A and B are shown apart, each in its own frame.
Chain A
């Protein structure tokens, strides 16, 4: 189905006036096809991933521990900051929010959405 469409596009390209419009049309169709392919790949990849991880409970425990530990660590740091500098309650509030961020970072790293905490490209 794609083939005849492409051929007709090439035929229309020969007249110079229609060149730009035709080019943008072809770019658009290419875009659409890339999007379709990447959506298909995104759909197929997690499915393959979940097939290999048969132990879903273990994974759930792992992710929840990653997230909770970030928040808890933030809370402890905040409490220590308040205790040392007498800035109650601001240290706890800010560090809990930062701990939430750290928990999300842990979660994303554990799930492989963000590259792990190795900075190999750092010089």
Chain B
């Protein structure tokens, strides 16, 4: 039986240009998104067909999430947020195909995405609001002698955002895939252990089926959580202190 963490190994496919299986699936996810959306919107019908209404539902879903948390002016970040949501969702779901590599189970990938989000927040915050953006770190109604202490805590809390954003997605995908693999391994090792014990092997199989359903839920849910938190952080950049 293979080790449950063997599936996360990054292996080079074309060593000369350092093209790995991780790169392959990232490109695959992007290609799938672009190709799928272009295919869905090829007719531009007033009354959408099946594929076009799926694309419209995805668009409206992200647009509603964004306007609910960041208001109307949040829509200027729509291309960014929609790309993030589609990439995370597609990468998560691609990882659910047996034998495929899960891009979002690599903390490098999720941390890069989170740095992109927090970098956008910081740069836009300073460009749009100047030093007023720093009011984010000065809560109101705090006694003067506590203020430096609280501000340092607020700054560390702000710096912890990209870490928690990336850690959550990474940990969910990693733990889910390891659990699936472990239960899958139980089926094999129980089945080959002997006549009496082999009767028990359907039990972990049932569990693995249940876990697969749960993993699909987690894959969609984590993409949504990532998007919502991105919207909340962008909201801080749009309205830092009023």
B159→A117 contact, CB < 8 A: no
| Residue in chain A with minimal CB distance to B114 | A69
B221→A68 contact, CB < 8 A: no
A58→B236 contact, CB < 8 A: no
| Residue in chain B with minimal CB distance to A62 | B168
Please judge, given known A-B contacts A55-B221, A98-B152, whether A77 and B241 are in contact too, CB under 8 Å: no
**Which residues of chain A are within 8 angstroms of B3 by Cβ–Cβ distance?**
none
Q: Which of B136, B163, B217, B232 contacts A119 (CB 8 A)?
A: B136
The number of residues on chain B lying at the interface, defined by a beta carbon within 8 Å of a beta carbon of chain A, is: 33
Which of B141, B152, B225 gathers most chain A CB within 10 Å? B152
Query: Majority SS of interface residues in chain A?
Result: helix
- 1/0 per residue, CB under 8 A from A, across B158-172: the answer is 111101100110011
Bound Cα distance A117, B137 (Å): 9
Please judge, given known A-B contacts A119-B241, A122-B241, whether A73 and B156 are in contact too, CB under 8 Å: yes
Q: Which of A66, A68, A73, A118 contacts B159 (CB 8 A)?
A: A73
A69→B167 contact, CB < 8 A: yes
B168→A105 contact, CB < 8 A: no
B72 at the interface (CB under 8 A from A): no
Which of B153, B158, B218, B236 gathers most chain A CB within 10 Å? B153
| Residue in chain A with minimal CB distance to B140 | A122
Chain A nearest Cβ from B139, distance in angstroms:
6
B242 at the interface (CB under 8 A from A): yes
**Which residues of chain B are within 8 angstroms of A106 by Cβ–Cβ distance?**
157, 160, 164
**Which residues of chain B are within 8 angstroms of A105 by Cβ–Cβ distance?**
153-154, 157
Bound Cα distance A65, B222 (Å): 13
| Residue in chain B with minimal CB distance to A68 | B167
Residues facing B in A93-123 (CB within 8 A) are: 95, 98-99, 101-103, 105-106, 116-123
Chain B nearest Cβ from A117, distance in angstroms:
7
Bound Cα distance A77, B156 (Å): 8
A69→B135 contact, CB < 8 A: no
**Which residues of chain A are within 8 angstroms of B175 by Cβ–Cβ distance?**
61
Q: Which of A65, A74, A98 contacts B167 (CB 8 A)?
A: A65
Please judge, given known A-B contacts A69-B167, A119-B135, whether A103 and B242 are in contact too, CB under 8 Å: no
4 smallest A-B Cβ distances: which pairs?
A: A69-B164, A73-B160, A69-B163, A102-B156
Chain A interface residues toward B at CB < 8 A:
55, 58, 61-62, 64-66, 68-70, 72-74, 76-77, 95, 98-99, 101-103, 105-106, 116-123
Chain B interface residues toward A at CB < 8 A:
135-136, 138-141, 152-154, 156-161, 163-164, 167-168, 171-172, 175, 217-218, 221-222, 225, 232, 235-236, 239, 241-242
